[in-house]
Structure 1
Amino acid sequence: MIESKKRWRMEKPDDQIVQHLQKELNLSAVSAKLLASRGFFDVDKTKAFLHMDESSMHDPFLLHDMDKAVARIKQAIANEEMILVYGDYDADGVTSTSVMMSALQQLDANVTFAIPNRFIDGYGPSERLFKAAFEDGVNLIITVDNGISGVNEIQMAKDLGMDVIVTDHHEAGEILPPADAIIHPRHPRGSYPFGELAGVGVAFKVAHALLGEIPKQLLELVAIGTVADLVSLHDENRYFVQEGIKQLRKSNRPAIQALCQIAGTEQNQIDEETIGFLFGPRINALGRLSDAGPGVDLFLSTDSVEAMTLAKVLDSHNKERQGIVSQMTEEAIAMVESGEIGQDPHVIIVAKEGWNPGVVGIVASRLVEKYYRPSIVLGLDSEKGIAKGSARSIEGFHLYNELAKNRDILPHFGGHPMAAGITLAIEDVADLRNRMQEQAEAELTEEDLQPIQQIDISISLEEIDLASIESLKKLGPFGMDFPKPMYCIERVNIASMRKIGANQNHVKMELSDGPQTLDAVGFSQGHLADELTPGVAVSFIGDLQVNEWNGRKKPQFMITDAKTDDWQLYDIRGIRQVNRWNQLIKVDQTLYLAFDQKTVIHFETLLNVDIVLISKNQAFPTPKPYIVLLDIPQDEQMLEAVLTHIQPKRIYAHFFASEPTYFEGMPSRDQFKWYYGFLTKRPSFDLQTNVNELAKHKGWSSSTLFFMTEVFFDLGFVKINNGRIDMQEDAVKRDLAESTVYQSREQQMQLEQKLLYAPYMELRQWFDTRLVEQTVPEEEQQWI
């Protein structure tokens, strides 16, 4: 048995709906199943989702105040007023600024931009920067990806005589800023049909309205900001990303070409994962560590040399960011593991002096990923007396609402159900930790604290081919609210398996369900090679990809998790080096069993664990899920009784035999006859002294001679005194098989053949026939 890392959650789509979609839309079976599992039942709506065009976009003037904003901006351009585009320091903010700047420059506006410094100005409108803009002669400020919460700062700008247009997508508070126009997809007095635009999407709508036509050349920037900001990939956003990726793949923009080069990716292969994992982190790294302005300069640059120089700046900052995140994550994990913040907390709150506030959100996400607990990571500033950081949550714990219960000690906080930013006094951190712990204990059940893995569909190996994988790619782009699919392959066999990688921490398998096979790879899943055994049916979840090698394409399954309910047999027979197999065993869940006292003595120092000696007339040990069979029992019934009682999920078969008999065999009757005749001619024979000479003479082993002597003694044919054999003249004639010594050797040879020397699958079959679920009455739980 192997338990999955997470709780798998999968619902089976309706077969009739699947077949209907497949037929009407000419989809592969896998694509139709995936769409049906995600709630696409209507053919027309599904078709509209899959095949989007310009008609998927809404009229920008449906946005509240758009007419006011366009009129004021055109007035500023006509009067040659100075315009400031005020952005944000993340990827959405940088691309929003770039889109707005591009549109205004196209209209020959007198325009510049400013982005707040995370460490000096914090998020959103900054009085410092607004005052600097006024002193520079700015007449109109246009915020992008921020501003909706800047009530006081915008009032100050108005008091100074500047006009302000806010374009934003973040949650609006009860009081809106006193701006001249507010462009927001969820404006409380608006009725825009789609409220999930990213900041760059809002900026694009303004650009569209200003230019009077769709600025398609800007869609590549919209795609980057939309994917990086993790907004819903439905409606307009889906179209923006779909079309934007097409633009990115053939873009002549120096910034895109430079980013591809430093990220080591082919431009014609750009997709949403390229944006999310390669472009986004590099753009975000600027604002996390210093000034995000170079990001805008990069996207606005028309010079390839300048663009490459700026791209290298982004890459350098990203590498620095990665190092900082790794160190902070290690420190945070050490705090959790040491119990410094409490034993098994329901909410993790870690804080340390000097932690970079620009990356605390990433560290919080790492903690959630590792422990599956709501996590808050705070950087302490003892000079200012404040703790500032980010929080990430899990399903079932509404982070914003729970933080709101602590407003009295949280002067500044904001966010969503799953993420938030907070600032509080250092002396209140311990109080917040205690309060949040109590709140989490009241809100979260044990089940809530087990991570969930949503699975889209179960697929068979027969359904997986190159055509079906290519058809699945056409369902993209994937992202928020339309995530990359997770597939389940249920109860398949492992035809072959081996560890790969320099550190042997990855695994490569060939999966089989009989006639069909499929290659599978698990990165950082090397442990599966130690845990999965032949002959078990295993279920896997993961992703489908095309593996191309030397011009040949093959389907490949990328393993995320695995589980099996089958019991497993681990063959550790003949591995003398105990540490080679014992280090793979979970000692606290394992019974180490021996059937001979000599075995206990042999292993007790080697293993440094408690060994249970199984013998007749002894109570059964308390069951554990795993057992190690250190040696071979005296008879099958004894082992069968143990298996019936324990019903182990894992059996580690070592079967140590200090003096194995199977290959030595049983002496023939002719050997017994000759030896008996030999002793008859010598009524008294000193075997101890002469055994080696006699063994050499006959070509037998000395142990064979000792064994035959024990059989004769057991049958009453001889007496033994200090190694001297004396014949019994009045001995009754008896068959060799009547000797218990003879019978024991026969039985031992048979057991060795079945258990010690049998091929793996034969040994597994032997256990299979005996591992039948039985209830053993309490009064019978004793050796008879």
Structure 2
Amino acid sequence: MLQSKSKWKFVRTDEYQDQWMDDSIELSPVIKELLVQRGIQSYEEAQEFLMPSIDNLISPMKLASMNIATERVHQAIRANEKILVFGDYDADGVSSTTILIKALEELGANCNFYIPNRFTEGYGPNEAAFREACENGYKLIITVDTGIASVYEAEVAKELGIDLIITDHHEPQEALPDAFAIIHPKCSPQYSFKELAGAGVAFKFAQSLLGYFPEHLLDLVVIGTVADLVPLVGENRILTYYGLRKLSVTKREGLIALKKQCKIEGNTTEEDIGFLIGPRLNAVGRLQDADLAVQLLLTDIPEEAEELAEQVGQLNQERQQIVASIVKEVEQLETIDPEKGVIVVAKQGWNEGVLGIVASRLVRKYDRPAIVLSINEENGTAKGSARSIPAFDLFQSCMKFKEVFTHFGGHAQAAGMTLPIENVRILEKELDHLIQQELTSEDFKQEVLISKTLTLSDISETLIDEIGKLAPFGMANPKPKFRIEAKPNEVRQLGNMKKHLKLLFKENGSSLEGIAFGMGELYHYISPKATLSVVGELGMNEWNGIRKPQLVVEDMRIDHWQLFDHRGKKQVDITNFLNQFDRHMLLYNEDFSNNHDFPEGIMPLTYKEALTYHEEIDVLHLFDLPADLDELRKIVNKVKPCVIHACFYIENSVYLSSFPSREDFKWLYSLIWKRKELNIRKDLQAIINAKGWTKDSIMFMLKVFSELEFVNISNGIIALNSSPQKKDLQEAHIYQERVKQTEIEKMLYYATYEELTRWFEDCMGLMDKPKEEMTHGL
């Protein structure tokens, strides 16, 4: 058995949902099922999903206030009024800012942009910025990707005589700002799609302002849409689908330089944005003013673009180093208590801009909610970010004791907060108490959603190409994960530090390679002949012009018990096998423990002691052959281990030693009878020469004769007993022990792996029919 690191959740579909999937649709059954899982219930919906069309985008005029906002901007342009675009410092914010600035410049507007500093101003519009804009002659401010909660700032704008147009996509609060216009999908009853990113809303505004569909801005809208993790369905899917095409051939100098810096060649994918482009643009605002990121997207000078892209890349590297440094500091603080349900860490000097990333790293590593705070001794506050696990609603839980916070906001899985330093431990205590009450140990496991179980014969290049038609993948349209159950023909570790696993499955002419990054230590937990269940994403591995199906493994498990065969090794390091399970038992004979130090976390018992142990255990380590097969059988049947490690080593094998036959015993007894007595010191070598027996065999036969009182042995002289009783050789205890030891060695030490496996299965009652025991005799 091998435990999975995650909870496996299989997608269920109602039977009635696939009735529309008739044979006229030329798709494989797997793809049909994946479409049904995505809530697609008609042929038309399937066509729309698989072949997104710009024609299916909703008119921007259905967004509330779009008419008056568009007219106000055109009025400002005609009057040459100064227009300020007020953005946000993340990738969605800088993309939104660039979209609107490009549209306004195209219309000849007198415009500029402003993005607040994360550290000195915080998130969103603020009074000081608005007053500065007023002093600089701005009469119109347009927010992008922010502003829906800026009730006070809207009043300030009104007081200053500034018209404020808010374009945003974040959750509206109870009170809306009293702005000139609010363009927001969730504030627009006539607009059916509510999940646009900030860049999507800005794009819609740009379309209304320009009076045509601005295809040239699609390469910008896709960055904000993918980077902000909005659901990639409906309009977001269409914008992303065509945006990726546009980004792949973009003529925008800033994006060309950024793609070059990211080493992106050929078609750009949503993963390129999520893992390369988005993090770089986000890094700017995490460490300094985000203006640099907007300037990169706006520039049309190649040399300037390359210089700016290089600066962005350096900031991203710096961000990575800061995150790694803080994670290391957190682990060195020794404040992560494995008994607590939450991690709360705080320290002066930590960069506030990266604490959300640090918290995410801690959640992934320790499988529990994490809060990371930067302490400001001057004002006595701690400020930072929190991330949670799927089973725990961080927002609702923290709201139960909101009095500990000065500021708090977020949602179920992520939050930002400020609180007095003295309340940090109160926060930890309250959260830990809630978590201990509400969650079980299973709840702390990460969850992996599995679309379907496939056989090796199901997997082909055609299927993988079909899965690609479901892209772009993202929130609400995740890349499907599949479960495959098979016996690997090959399992090996990869990399200098052996951190990764390479798997090869072959079955009935079908083959599949699996790569499990960061799972190299699991090599020690996969026994020969084990049937592996692996979960991951399918793709094509291309190398030297050869394309092969490949599974990128996310998790794995083994659902049956396992036998690990270490027989014949003098030294077995069992420390490699201690991490997967909690309850370990090690069995040995009385004299074994004198020469061994057992590692912590293991329960050493003699075979006799184990006979009185009645609880089940996870792992059984057998470090010495038992004195009795039946005793071991009883122990295994009681403790029912998930894993058995056979670590037997024999110096002098009884089984491999020749066992004297009945004729051998007769010959030796006849010799003693003829001579009346033997001097073992003088006659031993002559007997060895005559019969080719070993000294051990001769001494064994003499001990049997002595125990049966056929002879008397004294000082090396073997004398015939004048009146021996008639007894069978097998009545001798030493004879019986030799037979028993031979049976034990043959079964436990010299049996094949398959034979030993069947014997243990028989002990645990896992076989339909008990295996007949092997016996020895004369």
Normalising by structure 1, report the TM-score.
0.91
Residue 342 of structure 2 is aligned to residue 351 of structure 1? no
CA contact (8 A) 2:61 2:208 kept: yes
Between the aligned partners of 1:221 and 1:47, the Cα distance in structure 2 is 26
Asked if 2 retains the 8 angstrom alpha-carbon contact of 1:582 and 1:607, the reply is no
What is the root-mean-square deviation in Å for CA atoms of aligned residues? 2.7
1:665 aligned to 655, 658, 661, which one? 658
Higher alpha-carbon deviation: 612-621 or 276-285: 612-621
1 CA distance for matches of 2:24 and 2:487?
35
> Contact 2:611 / 2:635 at 8 angstroms: preserved in 1?
no
1:656 deviates by 3.0
What is the CA–CA distance in structure 1 between the aligned matches of 2:681 and 2:534, rounded to whole Å? Answer: 62
Q: Contact 1:22 / 1:28 at 8 angstroms: preserved in 2?
A: no
1:712–1:718 CA contact under 8 A, matched in 2:
yes
Alpha-carbon distance in structure 1 between the residues aligned to 2:726 and 2:404? 98
Structure 1 residue aligned with 2:286 = 288
> Equivalents in 2 of 1:736, 1:675: separation in Å?
13
Deviates more, 1:600-609 or 1:534-543: 600-609
The 3 A distance-change label for structure 1 pair 277 and 151 is same
Confirm or deny that 1:368 pairs with 2:363.
yes
Greater mean alpha carbon deviation, residues 720-729 or residues 414-423: 720-729
Q: Where does residue 528 of structure 2 map in the other structure?
A: 534
Q: Tell me if 1:312 matches 2:310.
A: yes
Q: Name the CA distance, whole Å, in 2 between partners of 1:337 and 1:682.
A: 84
Distance in 1 of aligned mates of 2:720 and 2:224: 99
| Correspondence 1:269 to 2:267 | yes
Secondary structure class of the residue paired with 1:25 = coil
Q: 1:228 to 1:610 in 2, by over 3 A?
A: closer
| 1:70-81 paired onto structure 2 within 5 Å | 70-81=70-81
**Distance between the aligned counterparts of 2:125 and 2:653, measured in 1?**
82
**Which runs of structure 2 are paired with 1:131-530 in the superposition (5 Å)?**
131-187=131-187, 190-266=189-265, 268-335=266-333, 338-339=336-337, 344-444=339-439, 447-490=442-485, 492-512=486-506, 516-530=510-524
Identify if the C-alpha distance between structure 1 residues 597 and 428 changes in structure 2 by more than 3 Å, giving closer, same or farther. closer
- Would the aligned equivalents of 1:25 and 1:47 in 2 still touch at CA under 8 Å? no
User: Kindly tell me: are residues 753 and 85 of structure 1, through their superposed partners in 2, closer, same or farther at Cα, counting changes over 3 Å?
Assistant: same
Q: Which string of whole-angstrom CA distances, capped at 9 and with x for unpartnered residues, describes residues 522-553 of structure 1?
A: 11111222112123333221111111122111
Instruction: Please say if residues 259 and 311 of structure 1, whose CA atoms lie closer than 8 Å, have aligned partners that are also in contact.
Output: yes
Residues 684-730 of structure 1: CA deviation (Å, up to 9, x unaligned)? 44546876786578654432332232233233332222444333344
Contact 2:11 2:449 in 1 (8 A): no
Q: How far apart are residue 630 of structure 1 and its match?
A: 1.8
The answer on whether the counterparts of 2:582 and 2:601 sit within 8 Å (CA) in structure 1 is no
Q: Secondary structure at the match of 2:550?
A: strand
The letter of the residue matching 1:653 is: A
For the residues of structure 1 that align with 2:658 and 2:305, how far apart are their CA atoms?
A: 81
For residue 23 of structure 1, report the CA deviation from its aligned partner.
Answer: 2.8
Per-residue deviation, 1:731: 3.7
- The worse-fitting range, judged by mean Cα deviation, of 15-24 and 754-763 is 15-24
> What whole-Å deviation, never above 9, does each CA across 1:566-586 have from its counterpart, x for those lacking one?
1110111122123x2344235
Instruction: Give the distance between the partners of 2:678 and 2:267, measured in 1 at CA.
Output: 89
Question: Is the contact made by 1:410 and 1:424 (CA closer than 8 Å) also made in structure 2?
Answer: yes
Indicate conservation of the 8 Å contact 2:500/2:518, yes or no.
Answer: yes
> How far apart, in 2, do the equivalents of 1:499 and 1:315 lie?
33
In the superposition, relative to structure 1, how do residues 18 and 683 fare at CA in structure 2: closer, same or farther (>3 Å)?
A: farther
Structure 2 letter corresponding to 1:50:
L
- Give yes or no for contact 2:489–2:504 (8 Å, CA) kept in 1: yes
Displacement of 1:96:
0.6
Give the secondary-structure state (helix, strand or coil) at the position aligned to 1:244.
helix
Judged with a 3 Å threshold, the aligned counterparts in structure 2 of structure 1 residues 620 and 54 are, in CA distance, closer, same or farther, namely closer
Amino acid at match of 2:366: Y
- Aligned residues of 2:7 and 2:442 also touching (Cα < 8 A): no
Change (3 A) 1:7 1:568: same
Where does structure 2 lack aligned partners over 5 or more consecutive residues? Answer: 768-778
Q: How many angstroms does 1:260 deviate by?
A: 2.4
1:458 alignment partner AA: T
CA distance in 2, matches of 1:555, 1:92: 35
- For residues 610 and 355 of structure 2, what CA distance do their matches in structure 1 show? 62
Instruction: Please tell me whether the aligned partners of residues 125 and 150 of structure 2 are also in contact (alpha carbons under 8 angstroms).
Output: yes
Question: Residue 566 in 1 paired to residue 564 in 2?
Answer: no
Structure-2 separation of matches of 1:547 and 1:261:
23
Instruction: Tell me, yes or no, if the aligned pair for 1:151 and 1:177 is still in contact at 8 Å.
Output: yes
Aligned to 2:36: 36
- Paired residue for 2:631? 638
Distance 1:487 1:576 in 2: 42
2:654 aligned partner, one-letter code: T
What is the DSSP-based 3-state SS (H/G/I as helix, E as strand, rest coil) of the residue aligned with 2:294? helix
Cα distance between partner residues in 2 of 1:19 and 1:377:
50
Shift of 1:94: 0.8
Q: 1:355 to 1:130 in 2, by over 3 A?
A: same
Q: Distance in 1 between matches of 2:713 and 2:19?
A: 85
- Match in the other structure for 1:779: none
Of the three residues 648, 658, 664, the one matched with 1:655 is 648
**Deviation by residue 1:146-166 (Cα, 9 ceiling, x = unmatched):** 112222233323333332211
User: How many residues of Structure 1 are paired with residues of Structure 2 in the alignment?
Assistant: 766
Which residue identity lines up with residue 65 of structure 2 in the other structure? D
Q: Alpha-carbon deviation of 1:210?
A: 0.7
Q: Is the 2:86–2:113 contact (alpha carbons within 8 Å) kept by the matching residues of 1?
A: yes
Residue 627 (structure 2) pairs with residue 629 (structure 1): no
Shift of 1:395: 3.0
CA distance 1:715–1:405, shift in 2 (3 Å) = closer
Question: Closer, same or farther in 2 for the Cα pair 1:689/1:382, shift >3 Å?
Answer: farther
Inter-partner Cα distance in structure 2 for 1:14 and 1:512: 33
Are the structure 2 counterparts of residues 322 and 601 from structure 1 closer, same or farther at C-alpha, using a change threshold of 3 Å?
same
**Identity across aligned pairs (percent)?**
40
1:625 is aligned with what amino acid?
Answer: D
Deviation digits for residues 113-142 of structure 1 (CA, Å, limit 9, x no counterpart): 121111111111133333332333323221
89-98 or 614-623, larger mean C-alpha shift: 614-623
Tell me if the contact between 1:535 and 1:761 (Cα under 8 Å) persists in the aligned partners: no
Instruction: State the distance in 1 between where 2:239 and 2:334 align.
Output: 42
Residues 432, 119 of structure 1: alpha-carbon distance in 2 compared, 3 angstrom cutoff:
same
Q: Which moved more, 1:597-606 or 1:20-29?
A: 597-606
Distance 1:411 1:581, change over 3 A: closer
Give deviations 1:484-520, integer Å, cap 9, x for gaps.
2121124x22222111111112111123455543221
Structure 2 CA distance for aligned equivalents of residues 686 and 142 of structure 1: 115
- Quote the residue 2:713 is aligned against: 720
- The 1:44/1:138 distance shift into structure 2, 3 A limit, reads same
- Structure 1 pair 182/570, CA: closer, same or farther in 2 (3 Å)? same
Tell me if structure 1 keeps the 8 A contact 2:569–2:648: no
Moved more, 124-133 or 209-218: 124-133
The residue that corresponds to 2:772 in the other structure is none
Report if aligned partners of 1:62, 1:192 keep a CA contact under 8 Å in 2.
Answer: yes
Q: Establish whether residue 117 from structure 1 lines up as the match of residue 138 from structure 2.
A: no
Give the partner amino acid of 1:176.
Answer: L
Change (3 A) 1:617 1:677: farther
State the alpha-carbon separation in 1 of the partners of residues 732 and 614 from structure 2. 33
